[in-house]
Amino acid sequence: MSISAHDERQTFKGRRILVGVTGGIAAYKSAELVRMLQKAGADVHVCMTEAATKFITPLTLETLSGNPVRQNIWDLRGDSSIAHTEWGRDMDAVIVAPATADFLGRLANGLADQLLLNVLLASRMPVLLCPSMNDLMWANPLVQQNVERLAELDRFRVLSPGVGWLACGVVGAGRMPDPADIVDAVARQLRDNDLEGQRVLVTAGPTREHFDPVRFLSNPSTGRMGFALAYAAWERGAEVTLIAGPTSVPAPTHVETRHIGTTEELLRAVSEELPRCNLLLMAAAPVDFRPEVSHEHKQKKGSGMSAVALQPNPDVLKAVAELEHSAFVVGFAAETQEFERNAVQKVRRKQMDLIFVNRVGAQAASTGFSSTTNAGAIIDSDGRLIRQVELGPKVAVAHTLLDEAIRRMNR
Ligand SMILES: Cc1cc2nc3c(=O)[nH]c(=O)nc-3n(C[C@H](O)[C@H](O)[C@H](O)COP(=O)(O)O)c2cc1C
């Protein structure tokens, strides 16, 4: 399950999305894009330019979307004599992926010699443009002028192409973003952006305290809950900074990420970022102790090391309570027993605004550290149980928690 979990959440249920495909080599990726949107509940319709049909067949996109593919202005299919202006008006959003240099130029100049251009000119729905082309073409000032002209209009969002191997055999900027990233961008575009203008700081993952360069004290946190929170806040329009401990799970691509190793580094990063943030979500699982001595070189088996003396690490949540800031603070408690009682004590002791408590350990496979799902309870600063959160993908749990945090921040 990906962090954004669109399939499980059915993010686009009840939404009609038009995918415009133009004649670029990345057109093969549009098949995957259509499939992803359809699996996430969208009613997907496809409009192709004539050049696009040289790269991928309409049959493929028709089969994947479950709807007839439209290609030309003169093909009215008997449903309307003015289909070129009316068809597509009831769509919730349009994605053009890939968008060729040629198509961007025509659109920026208000031309209407293709069905897709007619549909876009004669409607008002939001449009996500995903340019994809050769790196020199993308860097060309004429193409850039067209892109800038489109991006100036509120209605158009341009998802800049990525850097990577291009079909022409060079590495450069011009690659169409991954379909998964395009789907996330549409989810953000369609969602009520109730965190727009807010700066959100999220901590995620474990910390590591080294005995020597190859051995450390840590915990099984994967960072998934914090990553889900960072993604969910981004989906709601926030500007997000993520502070992530070492984990093999990839962090969400849309947010700025600072990587840390130890609990002290985590505290330092939080202290630096916090003053400019409105909301702090602390889902990291910092290690509470560190070895008194951290050896510079690997300790050999026969080195006589039989016990490791530990010293306490700074308490990050407590330290945050002592910092000067105006952020709304949400903490996490992972408990193996008496989980609500422990959380009530923690929320009071560490002066948080809300706390989310979930069960971890051997009896909690679906809510534990490495799980992709979670469930638990939200408790307020007075120790009152606000609500139980039922089992779901971590990003769904993150949205429920954000609903409660936003409601209280706006009071
Ligand atoms: C093999 C091949 C690959 C192409 N790839 C791209 C591309 O990735 N991006 C692009 O902007 N144009 C690309 N073109 C050029 C477009 O296909 C051409 O400009 C065409 O007129 C675009 O038509 P459309 O914008 O109506 O779809 C490619 C052409 C060929 C022959």
Domain of residue 146, CATH code: 3.40.50.1950
pLDDT tens-place string over residues 107-122: 999 999 999 999 999 9
* 168 and 58 assigned to the same domain: yes
DSSP alpha helix (H) spans, 152-216: 179-190
Ligand 1 center to 331 CA (angstroms):
50
Instruction: State the DSSP code for 206.
Output: B
Whole-number pLDDT of residue 163: 85
Q: pLDDT digits over 242-284, tens only?
A: 999 999 999 999 999 999 999 999 999 999 999 999 999 999 9
Residue 96 inside a domain? The answer is yes
Contacts of 63 (CB under 8 A, 6+ apart): none
- The residue with tokens 């190793």 is 261
Other Cβ atoms within 10 Å of 221 Cβ, number? 26
From 25, 56, 106, 116, the mutation candidate for ligand 1 (largest count of ligand atoms within 8 A of CB) is: 25
Ligand 1 pocket member 56 (CB < 6 A): no
Region class of 357: left (phi > 0), else alpha (psi between -120 and 50), else beta = beta
Tell me, yes or no, whether 155 and 272 share the same domain: no
Residue 389 pLDDT greater than 80, yes or no: yes
- The answer to whether residues 184 and 249 belong to one domain is no
Residue pLDDT, tens place only, 158-184: 999 988 777 777 778 899 999 999 999
pLDDT at 230 over 70: yes
Question: Same domain for 246 and 391?
Answer: yes
Pairing verdict, β 171-175 and 215-217: unpaired
pLDDT over threshold 60, residue 334: yes
User: Which of 190, 214, 229 delimits the end of a domain?
Assistant: 190
Which atom belonging to ligand 1 lies closest to the Cα atom of 114? 26
Q: 102: Cβ below 6 Å to ligand 1?
A: yes
Answer whether residue 300 is part of any domain: no
Task: Give the E-state strand segments of 51-206 in sequence order.
Answer: 93-99, 127-131, 156-158, 162-165, 171-175, 199-204
Residue 293: HSE in the Cβ half-sphere, 13 Å Cα cutoff: 9
d(CA 280, CA 405): 10
- Dist. CA 208–CA 219, nearest whole Å: 8
Q: Is residue 66 part of a domain?
A: yes
Q: What is the pLDDT of residues 262-272, one digit of tens each?
A: 999 999 999 99
Same domain, 41 and 158: yes
Is residue 122 located within the same domain as residue 251? Answer: no
| DSSP annotation of 285 | B
**Is there a single domain that holds both residue 219 and residue 181?**
no
First to last CA, the chain: 35
Q: Which of the two residues, 317 and 14, has the higher pLDDT score?
A: 14
- For ligand 1, is residue 25 a contact (CB within 6 Å)? yes
Residue 226 has pLDDT above 60, yes or no: yes
Tell how far CA 191 is from the center of its chain: 13
Q: Does the pLDDT of residue 364 top 90, yes or no?
A: no
Q: Is residue 23 lining ligand 1, measured as CB closer than 6 Å? A: yes
pLDDT score, position 342: 75
Number of domains comprising the chain: 2
Question: What pLDDT score does 166 carry?
Answer: 72
Give the DSSP letter of residue 360.
Answer: -
Residue 297 has pLDDT above 80, yes or no: yes
Query: Is residue 220 located within the same domain as residue 250?
Result: yes
* Assigned domain for 241 exists: yes
Domain that holds residue 281: 199-287+308-409
The one catalytic residue among 47, 130, 168, 277: 168
pLDDT greater than 80 at residue 124? yes
173 class by beta-carbon count within 10 Å (0-12 exposed, 13-18 middle, 19+ buried): middle
Q: Which residue, by CA, sits nearest to atom 2 of ligand 1?
A: 25
| pLDDT reading at 149 higher than 70 | yes
Q: Answer yes or no: is the C-beta of 136 below 6 A from any ligand 1 atom.
A: no
CATH number, domain with residue 214:
3.40.50.10300
Query: Do residues 110 and 156 lie in contact, with contact meaning Cβ atoms separated by under 8 Å?
Result: no
Instruction: Determine, yes or no, domain membership for 1.
Output: no
pLDDT at 296: 92
Whether 116 and 213 map to the same domain: the answer is: no
Compute the distance between CA of residue 94 and CA of residue 77 in angstroms, rounded to an integer. Answer: 21
Which of 100, 133, 138 to mutate to test ligand 1, by most ligand atoms within 8 A of the CB atom?
Answer: 100
Domain for residue 405, yes or no?
A: yes
Radius of gyration, CA atoms only, the chain: 25
- Token pair recorded at residue 12: 């686009």
**What pLDDT is attached to residue 261?**
98
The answer to whether residues 186 and 233 belong to one domain is no
User: For ligand 1, is residue 103 a contact (CB within 6 Å)?
Assistant: yes
Residue 337 lies in a domain: yes
Q: Report how far residue 314's alpha carbon sits from residue 302's, in angstroms, rounded to the nearest whole number.
A: 32
> How far apart (Å, rounded) are the C-alpha atoms in residues 230 and 54?
40
Q: Are residues 86 and 128 in the same domain?
A: yes
pLDDT in tens, 62-110: 999 999 999 888 776 655 556 677 777 889 999 999 999 999 999 999 9
Inter-residue contact 214 to 380 (CB < 8 Å) = no
Residues 272 and 361 placed together within one structural domain of the fold:
yes
Question: Which residues partner with 104 through β-bridges?
Answer: none
Using the 3D structure, point to which of 190, 214, 248 is the last residue of a domain: 190
pTM recorded for the entire structure: 0.93
Domain finish residue from 190, 214, 238? 190
| Burial annotation 103-135 (CB, 10 A radius, 16+ → b, else e) | bbbbbbeeebebbbbbbbeebebbbbbbbbbbb
Pocket flag, ligand 1, residue 52 (CB < 6 Å): yes
Could you tell me if residue 203 is inside a domain? Answer: yes
Give catalytic status of residue 130 as yes or no. no
Which of 6-11's residues contact partners 24+ apart within 8 Å by CB, and which partners? 6/36, 6/39, 6/40, 6/183, 6/187, 7/39, 7/40, 8/392, 8/393, 8/396, 9/40, 9/393, 9/395, 9/396, 10/40, 10/41, 11/40, 11/41, 11/187
Ligand 1: nearest atom to the Cα of 99: 11
Residue 325 in tokens: 């800031």
